[in-house]
Structure 1
């Protein structure tokens, strides 16, 4: 029984400080990975922060795609960080405000 509690405690310590999701709720709207930037902005409004992260090469390495991060929040103590590549939402990350 003690071993079970010890393993549970260790797993909580290694839990990531952030989590990834496939959807993000903006009021009554849902935003999903794969959505376009203008669709996200229409659903969620202007982000608090909009950062240009860099560029990525396309699979055939002929074109560059812009990578941006949009930050919404804090809401209920959480920030939502949305990552766009070539104006498509590729990752939704949630982090606790510090």
Structure 2
């Protein structure tokens, strides 16, 4: 019984997935939002950087090449927020304290 409980406790973090969100004024954005939704809720970013292309495989097994962009917002209360988009979908939100 102890082994089973130990194994479950070790595997538990693998099952947990935190959703990433960011408050922009009155709006709230989260991963998988489109660039148009983010732009309408957060406004124009401080900078937009085109990082290149990435090959992804969809749920049907087809390969697609999507553009990768990083948008920067801030500073808001000393924090800069970096949003990464792949194929016009928000996939990652990072925050870092400014200098």
Q: Which residue of 1 aligns with 2:70?
A: 69
Number of residues of Structure 1 aligned to a counterpart in Structure 2:
79
| Larger RCO: 1 or 2 (CA < 8 Å, sep 6+) | 1
Q: Which residue of 1 aligns with 2:39?
A: 41
Partners of 1:48 and 1:41 in 2: how far apart? 12
Q: Which residue of 1 aligns with 2:86?
A: 85
Aligned partner of residue 79 in structure 1, secondary structure: strand
Q: Which residue of 1 aligns with 2:4?
A: none
TM-score (norm 1): 0.75
Deviates more, 1:61-70 or 1:80-89: 61-70
Structure 2 stretches lacking a partner, 5+ long: 1-17
Change (3 A) 1:61 1:51: farther
Given the alignment of the two structures, is residue 57 of structure 1 paired with residue 55 of structure 2, yes or no? yes
Whether contact under 8 Å (1:21, 1:91) holds in the other structure is: no
RMSD: 1.6
Change (3 A) 1:21 1:75: farther
Structure 1 stretches lacking a partner, 5+ long: 1-19
Whether contact under 8 Å (1:48, 1:71) holds in the other structure is: yes
Q: Which residue of 2 aligns with 1:17?
A: none
